[in-house]
Amino acid sequence: MTITDAGGPGSGGGGTAAPERRGRRGARARRVAAGTAAILALTLAATGCEGSSETQSKAAPARKAPEFVWDRSPGSIAAVGDSITRSFNACVVLADCPESSWATGTDTEVRSLAMRLLGNAAGVSERTWNYAKTGAEAEDLSAQMTRAAARKPELVTVMVGANDACSDSADRMTPVADFRASFTGALRELRRTSPKSQVYVSSVPNLKRLWETGRKDPIGRQIWKLGICSSMLGDSQDLGPEATERRDRVQRRVEEYNAVLKDVCGKDQRCRYDGGAVYSYRFDGELLSRWDWFHPSKDGQSALAEIAYRNITAASVPK
């Protein structure tokens, strides 16, 4: 037997069959190896992408916007609001006296907020603007804010609401929803033109306490008969149930206005409400105008300036 016979036809596999099977098996192995390599490559690629994304995420976290810090020494002031900010009846009867305004006045006896912040009358004249108007209500704020915003002031002071509660009758007071809409719109108007201006909002004074104070003075009682804030001060000596209910109703409305001022201001990062400081302050006869026992006198204007200065320069928001 020779070695060559082992590969002949009688060997059970034939001389050519074994190489063909080995060839097919080799081709299958190559295909499997190629498929495995492809799957492995895809897996590695996917893993690599996820790892890269995670690495990038850890390496570059999203940045938070810097938190606004209240400027306790603003360099310019615009004032909006009503007759209190115009210092009506503080110097002469039935006239504005803006030089004695708690917000922007130059009277050294008052020492306005502007005087306390800016230092001298010359600086006040150059860097303050008083757009308040005697008789103004909340609905007038937007127009005033438009003028104030054009100046790009660092601070805007707001005092409004007394005229919304003071009307011929309690039924004619400004509805709370309208008051809210007006104040919200005024802030929006400011932000449209001067988004970085800070805003300081004074609470509405306690009108019932003014009634309790002025009704004891015979001159005050007579002056009120001319029609000053009739919803609260009318028939000042009437202590009957109807008059009492009317005054309580006006007082509740004032408190509701203050709640609106606090709420709306609290939603604006650059707005600071006085925490009810003006509402809580006890204005006595010395602090009220001798001509109407309603508007602040020069001493009253000075008290308002002190309240505002204390709250604006405070390290934290008044409660």
Nearest to 256 by CA among 276, 281, 239, 284: 276
103-121 residue pLDDT tens: 999 999 999 999 999 987 7
Angle at 212 between CA 211 and CA 216, to 5 degrees: 100
- Choose from 26-35, 43-52, 150-159 the range with maximum mean pLDDT: 150-159
Q: What is the mean pLDDT of residues 55-83?
A: 79
* Mean confidence (pLDDT) of the chain: 85
Phi then psi for residue 247, to 5 deg, are -65, -40
**What's the pLDDT score for residue 89?**
97
Banded pLDDT at 50 (limits 50, 70, 90):
very low
**What's the pLDDT score for residue 61?**
63
**What's the pLDDT score for residue 39?**
37
User: Who contacts 262 (Cβ-Cβ below 8 Å, separation ≥6)?
Assistant: 203, 273, 275, 276
* pLDDT greater than 50 at residue 48: no
Nearest to 130 by CA among 148, 143, 142, 116: 148
User: What type of residue is 39?
Assistant: I
CA distance linking residue 200 with residue 52, whole number of Å: 49
What's the burial of 107, exposed, middle or buried (CB within 10 Å: 0-12/13-18/19+)? buried
Q: What is the mean pLDDT of residues 181-193?
A: 98
Looking at 41-45, 180-184, 190-194, 205-209, which range is the least confident one? 41-45
Nearest to 162 by CA among 272, 297, 291, 258: 258
User: What type of residue is 135?
Assistant: G
Q: Is the dihedral of CA 279, 112, 77, 75 positive or negative?
A: negative
User: What type of residue is 59?
Assistant: A
CA distance linking residue 284 with residue 73, whole number of Å: 30
**What's the pLDDT score for residue 284?**
87
CA distance linking residue 282 with residue 295, whole number of Å: 13
Reduced 3-state DSSP string for 31-78: HHHHHHHHHHHHHHHHHHHHHHHHHHHHHCCCCCCCCCCCCCCCCCEE
**What's the pLDDT score for residue 222?**
92
Q: What is the mean pLDDT of residues 36-49?
A: 40
